[in-house]
Amino acid sequence: MNKTVLVSGGAGFIGSHVTVELLAAGYDVVVADNFSNCDRTCFEGVKKITGREDLPLEVMDFCDEKQTRALFAKYPIDAVIHFAAYKAVGESVAQPLMYYRNNLQSFLNVLQAAQDQGGCNVLFSSSATVYGEPDKVPVTEETPRKSATSPYGNTKTMCEDILRDTVKASEGKVRGILLRYFNPIGAHPSALIGELPRGVPNNLVPFITQTAIGKRECLSIFGNDYPTPDGTCLRDYIDIVDLAKAHVFAVTRMMEGKMKKDCEVFNVGTGRPVSVLELVNAFEKVNGVKLNWKFAPRRPGDVTAIWADPTLANTEMGWKATRTVEETLKAAWAWEKHLAGK
């Protein structure tokens, strides 16, 4: 019998790409989402890409303990990948209680249900935000975490600790992997799923594609006076399909008992620093479009430079990012055009 993976927040940007890769790898998947920050577009796209019209969807809220328990009772869940969380940094500063309540409560309920069913493999979607402004780049998993600059970032650090402590107390019954994502961008090559920000995008690539398509007037590049080669920030942009595949490697590692410790941490990045300006130039070049952009003041809370040392994920999990920035930016543009019906 196939193993079953529950994907909480599985209708969102990362969750939908992960669902596609899990199905391709032969896992049974249960998608659960409350559609608080996405519509059905990506879920329908996943069904089209995979031909799985029967893909189970549970519309539910993980903040509701009863609903979470009922879900675990309904399916034989071998692993859960937890994405269901709010993710807008600025909004979290304005509404910290909403962020702490949602992001912590939902994860607590998932872990409680996982523990109560006698154990489970739990994969938590963490973020490079836990490294703050690092003293040294690239960052390895041993790089000390720093206090986050937003409630959103704090919830990532806290959930990491909650999972670690739960694993420790469970004496091997609950196993955990923390994947620390760098900057996931792009879309599925089919252009049937991708990022669907509500309102004005906070992230760079959706802002670029929306500007290119004419939905936004002008991209602001936040800061050109950083101590970097071209003055703009450096990030590790990772293709969303590459990132999704890392989840399959991690889940399989847990299922096959290949973990070295009951709670492991992996950076999911390319190891390749790219500046904001380089990304903008690459987008224009590879897609043959002219982008309206200007330099603007720094955005509060941005770190100057961060990129991954992905050696551990490469050697231990056997996973490696393969796609070029150009391929990824092509996919992002194809998705934006698909949305616009072009």
- Assess 222 for contact with ligand UDP (CB under 6 A): yes
Out of 140, 202, 228, 314, name the contact with ligand UDP by CB under 6 A: 202
Between 302 and 327, CB nearer to ligand UDP: 302
Size of the site for ligand UDP (CB under 6 A): 14
Q: Which positions from 106 through 135 interact with ligand UDP, judged by CB under 6 A?
A: none
Q: Which of 27, 131, 152, 237 is catalytic?
A: 152
- Least distance (Å) from ligand UDP to the CB of residue 149? 10
Relative to beta strand 79-82, strand 57-59 is: unpaired
Q: Which long-range contacts (CB under 8 A, 24 or more apart) does 143-150 make?
A: 149/301, 150/89, 150/90, 150/92, 150/93, 150/301
Out of 233, 250, 282, 329, name the contact with ligand UDP by CB under 6 A: 233
Token pair 């809220």 in the structure block, residue: 61
Active site residue 152: yes
- Least distance (Å) from ligand UDP to the CB of residue 246? 17
Token pair 């996931």 in the structure block, residue: 184
- The piece of 6-14, 144-152, 218-226, 241-249 that touches ligand UDP (CB under 6 A) is 218-226
Between 176 and 206, CB nearer to ligand UDP: 206
Name the burial class of residue 189, with classes exposed (0-12), middle (13-18) and buried (19+) by CB atoms within 10 angstroms of its CB.
middle
- Centre a 10 Å sphere on the Cβ of residue 237 and count the other Cβ atoms it contains: 24
Out of 4, 149, 220, 324, name the contact with ligand UDP by CB under 6 A: 220
Name the burial class of residue 200, with classes exposed (0-12), middle (13-18) and buried (19+) by CB atoms within 10 angstroms of its CB.
exposed
By beta carbon distance, the residue nearest ligand UDP is 233
The gap between the terminal CA atoms of the chain, to the nearest Å, is 42
- Assess 188 for contact with ligand UDP (CB under 6 A): no
Instruction: Measure Cα distances from 171 to 118, 196, 223, 229 in Å.
Output: 11, 40, 48, 48
Instruction: Measure Cα distances from 33 to 137, 268, 329 in Å.
Output: 36, 24, 28
- Assess 207 for contact with ligand UDP (CB under 6 A): yes
Out of 203, 228, 314, 324, name the contact with ligand UDP by CB under 6 A: 203
Per-residue contact string for residues 281-320; x = within reach of ligand UDP by CB under 6 A: ------------------x--x------------------
Q: Is-contact 272 236, C-beta < 8 A?
A: yes
**Residues with catalytic roles:** 152
List contacts with ligand UDP (CB under 6 A).
Answer: 183, 202-204, 207, 219-222, 233, 235, 276, 299, 302
